């Protein structure tokens, strides 16, 4: 039953073969009978090939990208391009522009891979939407290092849910709560929030740890005498709390 749970693609006979290799000399019919009585279906009925299962299984090798817009107080619209790693949820702000053309987005992709260095080779899948700014040249940048580009289906934002969730967090916690004046102000706000998100903001999927914690020992168990300090970001809009050594 453990083999069946841990290997949904294995059929009854495959499980029987593994048991024989482990020195369990039982008949294949016995394996079939045990699993059937336990309510464990044959492999084709048991295997979940849904998109969510794929994302979980391949999380360490998936990077997603997206663009979102921010309007300034002078009603000028800017676009932010970012990449986010599925396993760590670490965010990389690639660039900000008023006109996200294909050549501009492609150049930001080159810069992103250069920043990653050797780590870029670990990216097996890139998820993106079907925006016209994601051109064949953009895809070719990733395909050259062996990455498979996965465009989302039309009008199915949940296929890029992790990127969409980060956009929502950035807006709710930062950009929607600040009057952004223009070109110089916007990168300060977005990069400051990304730094907070990467280094401090807890993530439930990571056991309430931040995506990229600073190198430091685990916090001591708190007691009545524990002193907590507060660090403000974005002019006090965001608070970070740490124990005082």
- Show pLDDT as tens, one digit a residue, over the chain (245 residues): 888 877 777 778 888 888 888 888 888 889 888 888 887 776 655 455 566 676 776 778 999 999 999 999 999 999 999 999 998 899 999 999 999 999 999 999 999 999 999 889 999 999 999 999 999 999 999 999 999 999 998 888 888 999 999 999 999 999 999 999 988 999 999 999 999 999 888 877 667 777 875 545 566 676 777 788 888 888 888 888 887 86
Strands of the sheet containing 62-71, edge to edge, are 91-97, 77-85, 62-71, 125-128, 148-151
Residues 134 and 150 both lie in one domain:
yes
pTM: 0.74
Query: Are 67 and 42 members of one domain?
Result: no
Do 151 and 77 lie in one domain? The reply is yes
Task: Please check whether residues 151 and 178 belong to one and the same domain.
Answer: yes
- Asked if the structure places residue 191 within a domain, the reply is yes
Residues 69, 36 within the same domain: no
Examine residue 245 and state whether it is found in any structural domain, yes or no.
Answer: no
Report d(CA 210, CA 195) in Å as an integer.
Answer: 11
Same domain assignment for residues 157 and 64 = yes
Q: Which domain holds residue 188?
A: 54-206
């Amino acid at each position: 039953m453990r083999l069946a749970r841990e290997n949904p693609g294995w059929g009854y006979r495959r499980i029987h073969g593994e048991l024989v290799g482990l020195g369990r000399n039982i008949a294949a019919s016995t394996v079939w009978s045990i699993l059937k009585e336990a309510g464990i279906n044959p492999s084709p009925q048991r295997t979940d090939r849904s998109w969510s299962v794929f994302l979980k299984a391949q999380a360490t090798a998936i990077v997603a990208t997206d663009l979102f817009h921010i309007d300034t107080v002078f009603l000028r619209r800017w676009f932010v391009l970012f990449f986010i790693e599925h396993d760590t949820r670490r965010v990389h702000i690639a660039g900000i522009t008023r006109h996200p053309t294909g050549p501009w987005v492609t150049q930001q992709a080159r810069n992103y891979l250069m920043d990653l260095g050797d780590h870029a080779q670990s990216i097996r899948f890139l998820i993106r939407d079907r925006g016209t700014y994601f051109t064949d040249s953009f895809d070719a940048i990733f395909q050259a290092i062996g990455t498979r580009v996965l465009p989302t289906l039309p009008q199915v934002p949940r296929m890029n849910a992790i990127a969409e969730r980060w956009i929502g967090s950035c807006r709710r916690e930062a950009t929607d709560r600040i009057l952004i004046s223009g070109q110089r102000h916007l990168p300060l706000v977005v990069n400051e929030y990304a730094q907070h998100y990467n280094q401090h903001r807890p993530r439930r999927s990571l056991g309430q740890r931040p995506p990229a914690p600073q190198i430091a020992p685990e916090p001591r168990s708190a007691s009545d005498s524990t002193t907590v300090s507060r660090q403000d970001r974005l002019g006090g809009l965001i608070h970070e709390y740490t124990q005082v050594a």
